[in-house]
Amino acid sequence: MKKGSTVKRVLKQGKKSRGQLTVGLDLGDRNSRYCVLDEHGHAVLESRVATTQKGLQEAFGAMPHSRIALETGTHSPWVSRCLEEFGHEVIVANARRVRLITESSSKDDRLDAKKLARLARIDPELLSPVRHRSKEAQTDLMMIRARAVLVGARTKLINAARGITKSYGERMRKCGGHQMGEELAASLSPELRFALQPLLAEVESLTQRIKEYNRRIERLAKERYPETALLTQIKGVGPLIALTYVLTVEDPQRFRRSRDAGAFVGLRPKRRDSGSTSPQLRISKEGDSYLRTMMIQGAQFILGPFGEDSDLRRWGLGLAEHGGKNGKKRAVVAVARKLAVLLHKLWVSGEVYVPLHAQTCPRAAA
């Protein structure tokens, strides 16, 4: 039977049937595989579709209202929005949680699509569904992602310059990445300075581009996301961290309580309670990795020499002092988790941040 006639038969069957069609879509970079199940769980169509808006329109545009399941990935944000515009119920599965697919011994796109469809048909909660941010939030977040790429490239160039200098028996003085440039090589030997001149010039150029991104991010936060002003009350949380937090979380009401923000960022310890044992495990590292990095950077500033005196800083320093060999690292992670919770609390309440809240409100310290 030809593909076109098969699709028409499925569409005709879906319109006549009272049951709902369930589709499993295994996304690929160029092409994607999908499997369509009827209300009885029978596979009525298995095919391939181009991972483009035109291809999705041809495959799913005329299909009756269906439940479509797909995994998180590079294409899942725009694909899920596209399918929702066609009127379908879209479930984006957390790829890290669906072990039936990710850890399968028989990895195959066609089989993966069928497994997604069967799991979505039985119980969508088995897929640990996630919610993608809106198109507007993703567009604004792209600016922050692009800046992070430049920062990473600059760091690699700086490390390369320092490594080359050391291999020649000399050293460049310590400084911040934004201070690295041709002037820093003035104390080096002429031949080494000549070799590093183009590299350091590139570092200076990247620094200027990063500064331009900083100005854009600060302007964007003021003009379109005024709620970031509530978050920047904390010293150590600037426009970059605040805007990253707001755009990643997007809807503060998605959490029933502020403490859930720590788990959302992936800073909550894993749990493995079995019988009488409850071992101490590492953090889950779930959620957005860049937002987690931003929380860690904010915590490092709070605990660092320039952090202002606050309840959070005192608590973190006390934890580091009694935390043993890795006390400082654990304290940074713990403060980062509390910082994520505190930012959400300020966002939803609109309160004025009081650094030493425990002293002004003794009841809060009890």
pLDDT tens digit at each of 366 positions of the chain: 445 555 555 655 555 555 689 999 999 999 999 999 999 999 999 999 999 999 999 999 999 999 999 999 999 999 999 999 999 999 999 887 777 676 665 668 899 999 999 999 999 998 888 888 899 999 999 999 999 999 999 999 999 999 999 999 998 888 888 888 878 888 889 999 999 999 999 999 999 999 999 999 999 999 999 999 999 999 999 999 999 999 999 999 999 999 999 989 988 877 666 555 556 677 778 888 999 999 999 999 999 999 999 999 999 999 998 877 788 999 999 999 999 999 999 999 999 999 987 766 655 444
Paired sense of beta strands 31-37 and 21-26, if any: antiparallel
What is 317-351 written as a DSSP string?
A: HHHHHTS-TTHHHHHHHHHHHHHHHHHHHHHHH-P
Sequence-distant (≥ 6) Cβ neighbours of residue 128 within 8 angstroms = 93, 94, 97, 98
pLDDT in the model for residue 9: 57
Q: At 95, which amino acid appears?
A: A
Half-sphere exposure of 36 (CA within 13 A, CB side): 24
For the chain, how big is the Rg over CA atoms in Å? 26
Residue 366 corresponds to which tokens in the numbers above? 């009890």
pLDDT in the model for residue 178: 81
| Site of tokens 């950077």 | 297
pTM for the model? 0.84
pLDDT in the model for residue 176: 83
Exposed/middle/buried for 68, CB within 10 Å: 0-12, 13-18, 19+?
buried
pLDDT in tens, 307-331: 999 999 999 999 998 877 788 999 9
pLDDT in the model for residue 13: 55
260 vs 254: CA distance, rounded Å: 9
In sign, the C-alpha dihedral spanning 350, 356, 361, 362 is positive
